[in-house]
Chain A
Amino acid sequence: EAGVVQSPRYKIIEKKQPVAFWCNPISGHNTLYWYRQNLGQGPELLIRYENEEAVDDSQLPKDRFSAERLKGVDSTLKIQPAELGDSAVYLCASSYDRGLAGEAFFGQGTRLTVV
């Protein structure tokens, strides 16, 4: 069974440019998460989806970040425009049992560098 797939693995962009990350969760997983992991820190939740619905986006900086999960499968996270402080690893995770967030499976992440 394929795991959570993220692309690209690495991205370098100039500040003020847009960037998008893509995530394909494990087949059948209804819950999808986007986390941001700053250097030397633990992951922090940006947004959580139950199927197509964003049920927790309280930590998403909505002035520049947006996300979508069309058809309740793949998801895209976008930043526009990017700032230097957005440099981080963006992790996607998915789970099947909505009642137990810890059963999440993580992708390898996208390492974003904003210069």
Chain B
Amino acid sequence: AQSVTQLGSHVSVSEGALVLLRCNYSSSVPPYLFWYVQYPNQGLQLLLKYTSAATLVKGINGFEAEFKKSETSFHLTKPSAHMSDAAEYFCAVTGIQGAQKLVFGQGTRLTINP
């Protein structure tokens, strides 16, 4: 079974500041991990994914995430926040074997202050 915990339901940063959104996972099998972004009244858009290749994954819009097995973490970062980054972010996990069920975290709402 898999589960995801996102630390902090709401994160607020200033424009140009570092963005750090935290995600810890639990998985009984080697995981695939994902970050999705959801803008208001929109569906989910894939930002990046970890599929057991490189542990540092780069995604769209300048975001990246690092898979740390020892910490069971997959935190999302961006060096410099932009106003357009304001959205809801979801971390998700699935096992690489068995049922292809994508399990989402509760989400983190990112607010960017001018």
Contacts and interface: CB of A to CB of B under 8 A. Distances in A.
Interface in A60-101: 91, 93, 98-101
B106 A42 contact: yes
Interface stretch (B38-46, B67-75, B77-85): B38-46
Contacts of B107: 40-42
A109 B92 CA distance: 18
Interface residues of B, number: 24
B90 interface: yes
Contacts of B41: 108-109, 111
Contact of A45 (B32, B49, B102): B102
Interface stretch (B12-20, B58-66, B93-101): B93-101
B36 to A, nearest CB: 8
A108 B106 contact: no
Nearest to A109: B43
A56 B94 CA distance: 14
A100 B100 contact: yes
Contact of B106 (A31, A33, A41, A100): A41
Interface string A5-39: 00000000000000000000000000101000000
Nearest to B99: A56
A41 to B, nearest CB: 6
A89 to B, nearest CB: 9
Contacts of B44: 43, 91, 93, 106
A33 B92 CA distance: 15
**A-B complex: 6 closest residue pairs judged by Cβ atoms:** A42-B104, A106-B43, A101-B100, A102-B34, A106-B44, A101-B102
